[in-house]
Amino acid sequence: MDNITNFAEQYEKIRTEIAKEMIGQEDVVEHLLLAVVAGGNVLLEGVPGLGKTHLVRVLSKVLDLPFSRIQFTPDLMPADITGTNILVRTEEGSSFRFQKGPLFASIVLADEINRATPKTQAALLEAMQEHSVTVAGETMRLPEPYFVLATQNPVEQEGTYPLPEAQLDRFLFKVLVPFPTLQELGGIMDLTLGAQAQAQAPVEPALKESALKRTALGAEDLLEMRNAARQVPVADSVRESALKLVLATHPETPDAPEIARKYLRFGASPRAAQAILSTARVRALEQGRFNVAYDDIRFVAPACLRHRLALNFAAVTEGREMESIVAELVNDYVK
């Protein structure tokens, strides 16, 4: 019972530690933490320089989890991320030994994931969904907890490869990283360009050693939090509203709302419903509640749905944005 009652406290501890290194972006941090505790992958989308990579690195340090970063480029090959068998010469002779790739870490930062070719992107699928990697017919489990936190730059379209729907579906959340406000920007400047910061490492001033060593809780604690969150009950009416919301995104269904029929090309998969309910449970516990409320559904639903839906030509020509459509659906179906 303690793990349940202490959940909110532990969660707050993580958030507090991250906040020490992140100025602003509370909503991004909140979503990121929800996804991490729920055990899902997150796609962070924002223009360069907003601290996406920094956030992930801070998170890995706060959680004291193995971290690896993969900078995705067009020439990146699957074996570069999964690992490969290499020939090793020993006294007994030559033999092949598997050299683990960067996927073998608990937190994998796939930076600018849309710059890699679909082939390399597809290499992530198994790791993201099954938490395992298969090389040369041999399947290897990845460490738990395991998260892929990918970043994506929406501006640079030249030389990028949009993620296939199947891969997007593997991301629990797609979190939009907004540009900081004036106050937040000022805070960032103080943190990174202040006198104290100048004395630190020149390359990435924000990642001070003192911060990197700060750990809130370990992997076991995180898994315990995840197990606790899975027990949070959901009332039938609340669950039904989440399921109806997911169904409403399907324009082909007879009960689809007008907005879905008019502007959506396809709807969300059942993984969206799973994502909504699992992250809503985490949020309920984080809020000190032992049940999921409609508010939780409303909070997590946009992040769960926005990358799982596709706008049709009418929406593009009329200038409709995914955010407004999802917000309208949420308002209509989650009372």
Partner 1 sequence: MNELLKALGPVRSRLRLRRFVSGAGWGFAGGALAALILLAVTSFVPLANRWWIAGACVAGGTLLAAAGNALRPVSPLEAARAADACGLRERAVTALELAEAEKSTPAPPDGAGQRLADMILLQRRDACERLQALDARQIRPAFPKRRLLAGALLLALCAATLLLPGGGDRAVAARQALETKTAAMAKAAEEAEKADEAGLTEKEKAELRKLTADLKRDLTASRDEADALVAVDKAEQQLQKLRQEQAQEKTAGDAMSAMDALAQAMQSAGTDAAAADALAEALASGDAAAMSKALSDLGAEDLQKLSESLTGEAKALAEAMARTAQQGELSEARMQALQQAAQSAQSAGSMSAARQATALQQALAGMKASLGAGPSQQSASQASMSGAGAGSGNNPGQSGGGAGTGSTNEEQKGGSGGQKSGGSKGTNPAEFRQTEYETIYDPEKVDVAARDVMTNQQSLGKDSVQIETGPGKGSLEGNVPVSQVVGEYAEQEVKAAESANLTREQKQWVDEYFRKLTEE
Contact footprint for partner 1 (CB under 8 A): 1, 4-5, 227-228, 231-238, 289-295
Smallest distance, partner 1 to C-beta of residue 282, A: 13
Residue nearer to partner 1 on the CB measure, 39 or 267: 39
Residue nearer to partner 1 on the CB measure, 108 or 285: 285
Smallest distance, partner 1 to C-beta of residue 231, A: 4
Smallest distance, partner 1 to C-beta of residue 143, A: 22
Smallest distance, partner 1 to C-beta of residue 227, A: 7
Cα separation values, 44 from 3, 167, 191, 256, Å: 29, 14, 23, 29
SS (H, E, C) 209-247: HHHHCCCCCCHHHHHHHHHHHHCCCECHHHHHHHHHHHH
Residue nearer to partner 1 on the CB measure, 8 or 207: 8
* Token output for 300: 């997590």
Residue nearer to partner 1 on the CB measure, 107 or 225: 225
Residue nearer to partner 1 on the CB measure, 276 or 315: 276
Residue nearer to partner 1 on the CB measure, 5 or 99: 5
SS (H, E, C) the chain: CHHHHCHHHHHHHHHHHHHHHCCCCHHHHHHHHHHHHHCCEEEEECCCCCCHHHHHHHHHHHHCCCEEEEECCCCCCHHHHHEEEEEEEECCEEEEEEEECCCCCCEEEEECHHHCCHHHHHHHHHHHHHCEEEECCEEEECCCCCEEEEEECCCCCCCCCCCCHHHHHHEEEEEECCCCCHHHHHHHHHHHHCHHHHCCCCCCCCCCHHHHCCCCCCHHHHHHHHHHHHCCCECHHHHHHHHHHHHHCCCCCCCCCHHHHHHEEECCCHHHHHHHHHHHHHHHHHCCCCCECHHHHHHHHHHHHCCCCEECHHHHHCCCCHHHHHHHHHHHHCC
Residue nearer to partner 1 on the CB measure, 226 or 250: 226
> How far apart are alpha carbons 261 and 253 in whole angstroms?
9
Smallest distance, partner 1 to C-beta of residue 289, A: 6
Smallest distance, partner 1 to C-beta of residue 285, A: 9
Residue nearer to partner 1 on the CB measure, 8 or 168: 8
Residue nearer to partner 1 on the CB measure, 123 or 238: 238
Smallest distance, partner 1 to C-beta of residue 276, A: 15
Smallest distance, partner 1 to C-beta of residue 16, A: 24
Smallest distance, partner 1 to C-beta of residue 36, A: 20
